[in-house]
Each structure stands twice: as structure tokens, then as C-alpha cells.
Amino acid sequence: MSTRLHSLALPGCPTYRGRQDARETSLSPRGCQGGRDHSEPGKPQRRSRLQPSRPRCASASWLTAAAYQDLILPNGGTPAGTSSPASSSSLLNRLQLDDDIDGETRDLFVTVDDPKKHVCTMETYITYRVTTKSTRVEFDLPEYSVRRRYQDFDWLRNKLEESQPTHLIPPLPEKFVVKGVVDRFSEEFVETRRKALDKFLKRITDHPVLSFNEHFNVFLTAKDLNVYKKQGMALLTRVGESVKHVAGGYKLRSRPLEFAAIGEYLDTFALKLGTIDRIAQRIIKEEIEYLVELREYGPVYSTWSALEGELTQPLEGVSACIGNCSTALEELTDDMTEDFLPVLREYILYSDSMKSVLKKRDQVQAEYEAKLEAVALRKEDRPKVPAEVEKCQDRMECFNADLKADMERWQNNKRQDFRQLLMGLADKNIQYYEKCLMAWESVIPLLQEKQEAK
């Protein structure tokens, strides 16, 4: 059931409606987005008074068994009571409906493509074309096309962290996505990074608050981003300043139960993915070694066939069969490297980002507890709660609401992404074994013909 949380009108803190549907929120954002006003002109602004409210402490029941089941990979075959699809490709077709429905309600589309290599006197780097299409009033034109390099994406993420400290900022791909890659300008590396950067911007685009951030708007539209970087280097929101101010000055007594459960879940999730990532890398390494052996193994039958007149065709058939199997294995290995591993690493970084936001929330809570205790120690019959304590409480409630809403959105995205990832992994493995089966079956008629000829 969707719960509408108390909205807070805080300077530098976007008004957030908790678990309200993301599409509804993105069409009518309210509150302050890093100092920007997105309300319709001519309409009065609704302002809520800063007043202490009763804490809304939900239980840790949000972390149900279903959430932990997301960490468990299937280790069996087709579940009981179900039948396998007639074609392996049909496994992926069932996942397209949700994306089509969501696309009908979006008003902002961003794509990263067309990587280009730039060779200068001092450096060599890659830029990517960022294309934006939108019907939002914040954009003067319906379509924009700019070129950005990796450090521009890094600047955007840092700005989002500064201006939206209460929200989960999607992670950027690592500096070197594929382990062991020396040439960062290779086509494989550039394509892997392009996909990751495209996913990064799409995560922001789908967020009902981050997508309206002014830094994101400038990133998508400005022809010369360096000019804006110099102008906005010293700009921080008040909430961001507050979080930095309390970074090391207070100590948290204990987390609320629901946020302690989130922290434990993130630790377990990162541990599971780290284990899967290490094992997957070992499997890929062994497959590559096996592929090298196959490529040496197949030609031996071909050279042998030159010495055997009657066995020429069967031996040539075995050589071709092994060649087809090696090609299928190479495709499977490439899919694992380019599609499977990057998703694992993205979500490992995602869990680190969520832990960072959780730590900021703890710092704000620690500041609130310390100030509240200081007021209680005053030698007054009825000490008056200072305004700074009320503001600190409001910041904490803002953190709580935004963190829980982003956690719920992250869980939904994770569930969908891993469904697609595992279905794709199953589909690629089925295709690999089908190709190997067809290759070996093609050799059988050649052997049968020789037997009948005798």
C-alpha cells in the first residue's frame, strides 16, 4: 500500500512525497530543487510550517523474505508445475511489456551513443554524444545534442551529491570497467563504458527529483560545460552544507530498527554479489583458456585428414565441428564479459552509494540527538525547543522519507534488472549448448556414410 509521507518545505531539500508514484511526481515536482522553483506561474505556493512532528517509526517488516529471496540465484531447473518455453528467445520477450508501458508516460528521454576519440597535444580522450528529448517546460528546445567526456559525468554526479544529499545518486562505472584491460581506447572497453554511462543517465532521468536538478539540466543542454563548471564551483545547498558540517562532530547512539535492517541487507547484498563476481571472473578465465585449447585442437583433425584417404570427410567434419563450438564459446564469453559482469559491478557500487546516504542520515540523527540532549540538560522547568533543533529534526525526517522512497525504488529496479540479467544468462547458455549440439550432430551422418560404405 502506498503511504503518503509528511511533506517538508526545507531550504535546499526537495519536497518529496515518499512512496507516491514516480511518474506523478516527475510531472508536478514541488519544493525547492537546489534553489529552483518548478511550480506553475500564477499559482500560490503551499508552504508548510516548521513544526516538530511525531516520529513515524515503521517496523522492519519492509525487509520481507521476498527481499532476501532476491539474493538467491536459482540453482535448479524449471520449477514444478511450469513448462519450459518452446524457444529460448521467448524467455526475454515476456520482459518487454513493463518497459513499453513505462515509456508511454515519460516526458524525458536521454541516450548516450556515438563515442569518438580525440587526440590532442596534451591528452587523448573519448567523448560521447548525449541526446535529450523532452516536453518539459524547463527545456527551451524539444531536443538537444551535446558531447561529454567521462570527467563531465563525474562532475555531474558530484554536483548531484552536493545538491541532493538526501537522495541515492546512481553510481558511475569504474575507471577501468573490464579487469585486465590495458588499452582503454579499445572498442570493447569504450562500448562497455558507453552502456554504463547510458544506464547512469537513464537512472537519473527516471528519478522524480534528480531529473529536475538544475545541474542535470545544464549537463544535458550546455554546449560548453566548462563555463558553467567555473561559475558553479562554490554553490552548495543549505542541506549539503549542514551535512558536511556534522560529518564528524557527533556520534550516533543507535540506528532505528528499519534503517539498521537496511544496513544489514546492503552488507549481505554486496557480499553475495562480490562472491558471484569473483566466481564469474574465474569461470570466464577458464572458458578463455578452454577456447585457446579448442582452437589448437580442431586444426589437428584437419591436418590428420590429409594422411587418411577414407577418413578425410569425417575428420574434416570433426575439425569443422570443433571450430563451430569454439565460435559459440567465444560468443558466450563475450556476453558474460560485456553484459553480465558490468551489472554485478554496477550494483556493488550501488550498494556503496546507498551506504553513503545511510551514513549521512545517521550523522543528521546524531546531531539532532546531541542538540536535543543539550536542551534537556538546561536548568529550566520547561525548556523551550530552539528553532535550530526543530530544523535539525526536519532535516532528519527529510532524510528518512527520501531514503526510504529511494530504497523502495532501488529494490524495484534491482528486481527487474536481475530478472532480465538472469533470463539473458539462461538464454545465452541455451543458445551455446544448442549450437554445440547441432555441430556434433552434423558429424554423425559423415560417420554413418563411411560405415555403410564398408
Name the burial class of residue 275, with classes exposed (0-12), middle (13-18) and buried (19+) by CB atoms within 10 angstroms of its CB.
exposed
**Does 159 share its domain with 302?**
no
Q: In this structure, what DSSP letter does residue 62 have?
A: G
Name, in order, each residue with C-beta under 8 angstroms of 94's C-beta and a sequence gap of 6 or more: none
Residue-level length of the chain: 454
Higher pLDDT pick, 420 / 180 = 420
Q: Which range has the worst mean pLDDT, 129-143, 382-396, 399-413?
A: 382-396
Q: Is residue 151 part of a domain?
A: yes
60 vs 154, higher pLDDT: 154
Residues 227 and 284 in one domain: no
CB 134 within 8 A of CB 107: yes
More confident residue, 64 or 229: 229
Domain that holds residue 166: 8-28+91-238
Residue 41 lies in a domain: no
Is 40 domain-assigned? no
Residues linked to residue 146 through DSSP beta bridges, in sequence order = 130
- The vertex-81 CA angle with 80 and 84, nearest 5°, equals 85
CATH code of the domain containing 373 = 1.20.1270.60
Distance CA 247, CA 353 (A): 16
Residues 393 and 278 in one domain: yes
- The reply to whether 274 and 390 lie within a common domain is yes
- For residue 9, name the pLDDT band (cuts at 50, 70, 90): very low
Cβ count near 332 (within 10 Å)? 21
- Specify whether 189 is located in the same domain as 270: no
- Grid coordinates in use for 221? 543542454
Which of residues 238, 272, 300 is at a domain's end? 238
* Strand, helix or coil for residue 150: helix
Residues 6+ apart with CB under 8 A from 356: none
Tell me the per-residue pLDDT of 23-42, one tens digit each, with 9 for 90 and over: 344 334 433 444 444 444 44
Q: Which residues contact 222 (CB under 8 A, 6 or more apart)?
A: 146, 228
Q: Which residue has the higher pLDDT, 10 or 168?
A: 168
For the stretch 296-331, pLDDT in tens is 999 999 999 888 877 888 899 999 999 999 999 999
In the predicted model, is pLDDT for residue 78 greater than 50?
no
Task: Answer yes or no: do 223 and 262 share one domain.
Answer: no
Is 65 among the domain residues?
Answer: no
Residue 336 covered by a domain:
yes
Q: For residues 282 and 425, state if they share a domain.
A: yes
* pLDDT of the residue at 254: 81
What is the band of 342 on the pLDDT scale with cuts at 50, 70, 90?
very high
429-434: long-range contacts (C-beta < 8 A, 24 or more apart)? 429/332, 430/88, 431/88, 431/328, 431/331, 431/332, 432/328, 432/329, 432/331, 432/332, 434/88
- Among 238, 264, 291, where does a domain finish? 238
Q: How confident is the model at residue 92 (pLDDT cuts 50, 70, 90)?
A: low
| Residue 403 located in a structural domain | yes
When pLDDT is cut at 50, 70 and 90, the band that residue 368 belongs to is confident
Instruction: Give the mean model confidence (pLDDT) for residues 77-100.
Output: 47
Torsion angles phi and psi, residue 150, rounded to 5: -60, -40
226 and 291 both lie in a single domain: no
Please report which confidence band the pLDDT of residue 6 belongs to, taking 50, 70 and 90 as the band edges.
very low
Find out whether 204 and 210 touch, Cβ atoms under 8 Å: yes
Residue 370 has pLDDT above 60, yes or no: yes
Helical (H) or strand (E) element with 115: strand 108-119
Assign 105 to helix, strand or coil.
coil
Greatest mean pLDDT among 303-312, 359-368, 394-403, 432-441 lies in 432-441
pLDDT in tens, 191-228: 989 999 999 999 999 999 999 999 999 999 999 898 88
Task: Name residue, grid cell 527516471.
Answer: 206
User: Could you write out the DSSP letters of every residue in 392-418?
Assistant: HHHHHHHHHHHHHHHHHHHHHHHHHHH
Indicate the number of domains in the chain.
Answer: 2
What is the domain-level CATH number for residue 174? 3.30.1520.10
Q: Looking at 120-272, which runs of residues are DSSP E strands?
A: 124-134, 143-149
Answering whether pTM is above 0.85, one says no
Domain co-membership, 326 together with 454 = yes
Write the CB contacts of 296 (distance below 8 Å, at least 6 apart in sequence): none
Q: Is the residue at 68 inside a domain?
A: no
Phi-psi region of 18 (alpha: psi -120 to 50; beta: other; left: phi over 0): left
Q: Which of 238, 271, 297 is the last residue of a domain?
A: 238
Local confidence band at 108 (pLDDT 50, 70, 90 cut-offs):
very high
Q: Helices (H) and strands (E) in the chain — how many of each?
A: 14, 5
pLDDT one-digit tens code per residue, 415-424:
999 999 999 9
What does DSSP assign to residue 75? -
* Whether residue 415 sits in one domain with residue 290: yes
- Mean pLDDT over all residues of the chain? 77
CA distance 382 to 173: 54
Cβ-based neighbours of 254, under 8 Å, separated by 6 or more: 260
Q: Which of 184-198, 241-255, 262-276, 380-394 has the highest mean pLDDT?
A: 262-276
Indicate if 280 and 156 belong to the same structural domain.
Answer: no
Of the listed ranges 175-179, 277-281, 351-355, 409-413, the least confidently predicted one is 175-179
Residue 332 lies in a domain: yes
Partnered with residue 132 across adjacent β-strands are 110, 144
C-alpha–C-alpha distance, residues 293 and 326, integer Å? 9
pLDDT attached to residue 152: 95
**Do 328 and 203 have their domain in common?**
no
